[in-house]
Every structure is written in structure tokens, then in C-alpha cells.
A and B are shown apart, each in its own frame.
Chain A
Amino acid sequence: MAQIPGPTWAYRVVQIHPLLKCNLRCLHCYSTSSPDQLPTLSLERLCSALSLLHAEGYNGVGISGGEPLLYAELPSLLQHIRKLGMIATVTTNAMLVDDRRAAMLRQGTDLVAVSVDGVPESHNRMRAHPRAFERMIEGVAHLKHVGVPFGFIFTLTLHNLHELSWLAEFAVAQGAGLLQVHPLEEVGRATSKLSGCAPDALELARAFVEVARLQKQYTGSLTIQYDVADLELLCAKPERGYAVEPAVACGTTDTAAVPLADLIAPIIIEADGAIVPLQYNFSRTYQIGNINTDGLTGQIQAWKRNNFHQFLALCRSVYDRLPQPAATEYPFVNWYGEVLQASHAVQSNVRPDPTRISGFGLQIATPAIHEACNDLSGNA
């Protein structure tokens, strides 16, 4: 029975947001986390869900939040993931890392991903904290001291590509093994704080050239991962974007018999326990289950039987809208963002606006939109 490869192929990730509490209120936060947020997921429910999802074929767990270091049960959660034999990564702002927490992360994770948003001034502005960069470096020093493998995650906007080379040099100097470049999506707090700042198709294309240049420069020192889809690959292999018929993809019409991880990855456990496909804040129309509701096995089986085809239809609709690579000057797309937007558009019967999120042609920003970005870019 074939696995639908999706965007990350053999690496099938469960992303967990055990809490939305954070020590920061970052401008780009897709989960709108803050110090005021309260809900947390119970360790027992999480461990039970992960055991089940491991049996369903998932082999990796990513932990975010909020700030995961504020989740009191994090050591126990990581221990459980280790027992299951799954790969564990934690995404953090690193400001709360001390030697004790670093030692805990050394025991329980395969890699710690530290969010860094450019040069110190840009980072502090995005983090809405004047000492965020300084305290991030202190946290990274603790990670290095105890030998935790770590990488940096950079959020690419319409305005900060020129800082990527600085960040690559910084990453190498700090001993990071990985620099991951994620395109900004205008969801969560970014909807209001960073309106119009998502990179458009032109910026994504320029970023690809810059990433390739930097990867050549830092060969052997740093791996740079650019997390957008190349239309050349995506159009040639629609299964990479889940644009397939269920029977063709799975080799059977009985999708209930197929492990969930073979059908879809990543999946996200949101802070209220809901399991959704692909991305935080995915339309609940496609919800797979809820770990806080008993009978998760049955929920998953029901989703496979009754809802999986809807999810595939959604992905096919996104695929059908993609320009052919030969017909576009800018052949890169934030695929996750496109599917997320489509999930909500289908629910509300609103036709998705292809210029709102990067991917198709130039996004023509008005002066009003750039007014909103002035604080971020530092330009008047």
C-alpha cells in the first residue's frame, strides 16, 4: 500500500502546541501566543495521543507553542517521545534556556530550532522585546555548552531578504547546523501587525537565488533549508501536494485500512486538543479528531472513511490553480499558505484571492499596506 509522499515524504511529523503561553508577543505569531494565554494540554492526553499516532505511522514530533519551555510537563513529554522512538524537535525563542533546561533538551531532543528574525534590531522589533536578541544568544550559549544540536529558523517577509546573508554568517559563527527559511503568513497576530508583509512570488524567487548562493558559500558548514515549493517539482509530482485521487494514491478504496501517516503529514495538535491537517489554524471543517475527546481511534477511522477525500479534493483545487512553471516568471509558492487559505475559502464559499498570499504573480502592495510595514522595516 503506497504512502502519499506529501511535502516531507518519509518524515511524518506530528506538531504539538501544548500551550499558547509565551514570554513574548511576537508580531508574526501564527498562534497569537502571549503571556496572557492560559490553556494547556494534559500530559496524559498528549502521551496517549502520541502513542496512537506512532502506531498510525508518524515518526517525528515537533513541539512549539507558545514557548514550549513554559510547558511544565515538557521533560516528561520528551521522555515519552523518546520511548516511542520518534524524532523530537523543539522550536523556541531560547530566551529561557539555562544550563538545566539545556541539559533536559540534550536528553530529550534531536534538534532544537531557535527562532531568529534577522539582525539584532530586526529581531527585537519582530519579537516586540528590546533584549530578545541578547537573551537569545545567552540561551544559545547554554545549548552549545551542553552540546545540544541546534538550528535557526528565519521568517522571510517582503522586507528582510537582505538580512539572510548576515544570519547565515551568524549561524555558522554560533555553530548552528541548520538555517531554515520559512515564508511569513498573514495569520494569527500577523493578520493585524504585519498586513501586506508576506513575501510575494517575486520575493520568493529572489530568495531562492539567495539561498542557493549562500548554501554554496557555506557548504560543509551549514545546511540551509528553504521551505517553499518549487512549481517545477510540484506540477510534475502532484502527489507531493496531495493532489491525487484516494484510490490511486493508496492502492485501495478502503482508506480506513491505511495508516493515517501514509495519508497525510504533517498533522497538528492545537492547544485546544483539535487535530488538524498540515497547518495551525487549518479550517476545522477538515478536523481529524480531538485528543480531549475519548475514542480517538474511532475519530481517526471515521475521518479516513468520511473526510479524507474532502481533504484531497481541497488539495487538488489548489493544485489546479497553480500556474505551469513554464508559464510563470516566479516558479515558487508557499504551498502551506495556499492550502490554508483555500481551506477557509471553501468553508466560507469565498473565492480565494491569489494575490493575498504569495505564490501567483506579483502582489501589488498599495501605499497603505506599506504604511503598516514601516515599523517593521525601519523605513519612513
Chain B
Amino acid sequence: MTDKAATILVYRIVIKASAQAIWDAITKPEWTERYAYGGRVQYELKGGGHYHHEASPEMKSFGLPDKVILGEVLESDPPRKLVQTWHPQFTPEMIAEPPSRLTYEITEGQGVCTVTITHDVTGAPMVAGMVPGGGDPAKGGGGWPWVLSDLKSLLETGARMPT
């Protein structure tokens, strides 16, 4: 990227589920351990609230720290909007970057919900290189597209995608 302007990434998916079910799948540990890379989230759902993502046993086996992602809740409007900082602790380079800013928006209509992730990764090139995915999910290269695709499978069929 050549310009110094904000670096914003946008991901959107349509899921046949209620806004509340999607909200729970994003914010409740019993849900987050069931899809994508797993691991339990801990959210204090209010402005200034604490957030972290606990490593799954598999992540720990790769030598990742107990709290793999740190952050702070900036805005919580269940089940519609969640704004938070998001600072993955995967590598020393990522730890050295400033926290990114993540927004989840859930809009309901005609029996489905649209989930939009807007990820402001300005000044965080390592995170900007990781979250678009495009690599092998088994090696950690799934990114948001794979995470959202897996979330959709779980909520619509009750099961994860076969891997």
C-alpha cells in the first residue's frame, strides 16, 4: 500500500439465523470454541470493558500465549453493534503493532441477517496481511472469510465445515 490513509478491510456474510444467535456466537465463549480456530472469548460488554481471546489447546500446542488476542470494548449495542480494539499476540512483530479496531454490525431482514466486519488495520501491516486469509486454514491462514464461512455453517446447519 502506497498511501498513508486509513487501511480498512470489509467482510460481509449473510446468515440464516437471528441477530441474537449471531451476537451470542461472537461474544460467548461456549460458542466461540465451536467454530473457526476455537478458543474462548471473554467479553465485558460495555464501553471500556475488557476483552481477550483465550488460546485453544491446539493454539497452545503451537506455543501461542494463553491470551492470544487482547482488546478493549469501545461500544456494545447487543445484538446489533460491537466495536472493540483487537490486538493479536501471535508474534513479537504483531505485539509491537498498535491495536487494530474491529466493528461487527448485524442487520436483520427477511429471515436472514447480514453480518459486516469492518476492520481498521491502519498502522498494523502484520495484522493487515493476516486477516484477509487466502491461505490454508489448517495453518492459520483462513482469515475473516474462513471464520465467517465457518460461523455460517455452524449456525445454519449446527455443524462445522468438514476439514
Tell me, yes or no, whether A binds B: no
User: Chain B residues in contact with chain A, CB under 8 A?
Assistant: none
> Which residues from chain A sit less than 8 Å from chain B, CB to CB?
none
